[in-house]
Amino acid sequence: MSRKLLTLFILFIIPALVIAGCRPSTPATSPAGGAPAQPVVETVEVVRTVVVTVEVPVPGEAPAATPQVKIEVAQAPGFGDTLKAVQARGNVICGVNGQLPGFSFLDPQGNFSGFDADFCRALAAAIFGDPSKVEFRATTTQERFTVLQTGEIDVLMRNTTWTLVRDTELGLNFTATTFYDGQGIMVPKDSGIASLQDLEGGTICVQKGTTTELNLADVMATEGISYTPAVFDDVNATYGAYAEGRCDAVTSDKSQLSSVAKGLLPDPDNHVILDVTLSKEPLGPVVRHGDDQWLDIVKWTIFATFAAEEYGISSANVDEIRSSTENPELKRLLGLEGDLGAKLGLSNDFAYNIIKLVGNYSEIYDRSLGENTPTFIPRGLNSLYTNGGLLYSPPFR
C-alpha cells in the first residue's frame, strides 16, 4: 500500500519566567521622595520543538493494522547461562527429595519416580526432546538451597514452600506452584488425640530447617499449647522416630503425611491426619536469581502441562490434535504457528514434546498421586480453575 509521511511539528510551550534584579555597578539611588528603586523584571519565552513522525494513509485506502513495535531489551548478566550449560552438559541436574513416596523416591528398579521427578523429566523433554536427560540429585532440607545457589544443581524440584523471605534473601526465584498444600498433623488412630489441644505437653516429630518447624511453633504459641519438638534431619529419621513411638504426633505438609503414611509406615491404616490445617504451603520449582531465561523456561514448562489438561490434550491424543486443530491457541502451544519456543531459546515444539513424552498435568498427577496409586491424594485445590481449583495457565501467545 502506498503511503506518505507527514511530519507534524508540535510545539510544547514551557513558560519560564526569569526574574533577575538588575543592579548597576554602583549602588542604586532612590528617586525623589526617598521611594526605593523598583527592580527590573525581564520575561523570557522558551519554546521546545518536538518532531513526531506519523504515518498517514492515502485518502480512500483502508488503514493498516495496528503496527507492532519490536523492542530490543538489554539482557542482564547471566541471562541464558543456565540453558547453555545444560545443553553443553547434555542433561538437566534436578534437585529432589528422594525419600518422599508419590513425589520423588527410588522405586524397586532403582529409578526416581513421583510427581516432582516427572516435572524434572518434563523440563528435559522441553529442552532436549528426551525426558531421560535428567540427573537426579537427592537433597536434604538443610542443603537444598545451598546446592542450588552454588550451581551444583540447575533447578530445585523438591516439595519446597514459597515464602517472601526465601524469595528475597536467598538469591533464588520461585517459578510457579505445582502443588497447593497445607500443613497437618498425623497421630496414631488409637491415641485418643482429636485436636491440637489434646497435644498439650506432648512431643511432636518435625523436620529440621523447614517452614513446618516454624509454623508449628507459631500455631502452638498462638493457641497457648506447650509441647516438645523432636527435630530430625530427613524424612526417614522423622517418620522412623514416629513409627517407634518416640513422638505423640508428626507434622508436615498434608501431602507428605499422606504419602509417607501409605508408603513408609509399616501400618498406615493405624494412623490418621487430624482435621486441622496449620498453614498454606504452595510448593514448586526454584531457580537461581539472575537468569530470567531459565526462570521463563521452567515456568512455561509447568504452564504447558496446565494448558494441555485444560484443552483436553494428552500424550495419547496430542498427535491427532496437532494434525487436525484449527484453534490458533493450540497451534501456538503445539509449535505449528508462531515462534514461542524460540523466544525461550527452545525449539517451537517444546510444549508438544512435554505433552507427548511426559503428559499433561492430570497425567503427571494421576501417575503418582491418583486414586489408583498407594499414595492417593484427592486433587482439591490442585484442580484446574474450571473445576474449582487454582491451576491456571497464562495464554500461549
Domain holding 227: CATH number?
3.40.190.10
Identify whether residues 186 and 329 lie together within a single domain: no
Quick check: is 298 in a domain? yes
CA distance 344 to 332: 14
Mean pLDDT calculated for residue range 23-43? 42
CA distance 258 to 252: 10
Residue 56 lies in a domain: no
Mean pLDDT estimate for the chain: 85
Which of 234, 263, 282 is at the close of a domain? 282
Q: Which run of H or of E encompasses 258?
A: helix 254-263
63 class by beta-carbon count within 10 Å (0-12 exposed, 13-18 middle, 19+ buried): exposed
| Residues 254 and 110 occupy one common structural domain | no
Among 230, 250, 282, give the residue marking a domain's end: 282
* 321/380 same-domain check: yes
Residue 374 confidence (pLDDT): 86
Asked if the structure places residue 74 within a domain, the reply is no
With 90 as the cut, is the pLDDT of residue 1 above it? no
Where does the pLDDT of residue 27 fall: very low under 50, low under 70, confident under 90, or very high at 90 and above? Answer: very low
Whether residues 257 and 318 fall in one domain = no
* pLDDT tens-digit series, residues 94-126: 999 998 999 999 999 999 999 999 999 999 999
Mean predicted confidence (pLDDT) in 183-204: 96
Residue 85 domain-assigned (yes or no):
yes
Domain coverage including residue 376: 81-178+284-387
Q: Which residues contact 41 (CB under 8 A, 6 or more apart)?
A: 19, 20
Indicate whether 313 and 375 sit together in one domain.
yes
SS3 347: coil
Low-confidence winner among 6-10, 23-27, 108-112 (lowest mean pLDDT): 6-10
Better-predicted residue by pLDDT, 8 or 240: 240
Higher-confidence residue: 2 or 63?
Answer: 63
**How many independent structural domains does the chain possess?**
2
| Res. 38: pLDDT tops 80 | no
| pLDDT at residue 32 in the model | 39
Q: Are residues 215 and 334 in the same domain?
A: no
pLDDT band at 259 (very low <50, low <70, confident <90, very high): confident
Pick the most confident of 19-23, 234-238, 260-264, 362-366: 362-366
Rounded CA-CA distance 61/67 in Å is: 16
How sure is the predictor about 77, in pLDDT bands with cuts at 50, 70 and 90?
Answer: low
Query: Strand pairing partners for 323?
Result: none
Under 8 Å between Cβ of 197 and 222: no
**Model confidence at 181, in pLDDT bands (50, 70, 90)?**
very high
Nearest one of 353, 361, 349 to 385, comparing CA atoms: 361
Residues 128 and 205 in one domain: no
Which comes out higher in pLDDT, residue 370 or 33? 370
Do 310 and 173 belong to one domain?
yes
pLDDT score recorded for residue 310: 98
The better pLDDT of the pair 335, 71 is held by 335
**Domain boundary residue, one of 242, 267, 282:** 282
Domain annotation covers residue 65: no
265 vs 243: CA distance, rounded Å? 7
Does the pLDDT value for residue 347 go beyond 90? yes
Contact 355, 315 (CB under 8 A): yes
The pLDDT of residue 288 is above 70? yes
Specify the pLDDT at position 74.
Answer: 53
Percent of the chain clearing pLDDT 70 (strictly above): 81
Contacts of 327 (CB under 8 A, 6+ apart): 311
Q: What is the reported pLDDT for 209? A: 86
Q: Helix (H, G, I), strand (E, B), or coil: what is residue 237?
A: helix
- pLDDT the model gives residue 141: 87
10 or 60, greater pLDDT: 60
Do the domain assignments include residue 118? yes
Q: Is residue 63 part of a domain?
A: no
pLDDT for 211 beyond 50? yes
212 pLDDT higher than 70: yes
pLDDT single digits (tens) 39-76 = 444 443 433 333 444 444 555 555 555 555 554 555 66
Statement to judge: residues 173 and 293 lie in one domain: yes
Angle at which helices 361-369 and 292-310 pack, to 10 degrees?
80
Query: Cα torsion at 321, 295, 379, 106 (round to 10°)?
Result: 100
Q: Does residue 202 lie in a domain region?
A: yes
Do 148 and 184 belong to one domain? no
- Based on the fold, state whether residues 100 and 194 are members of the same structural domain: no
Q: Average pLDDT in the 322-341 region?
A: 97
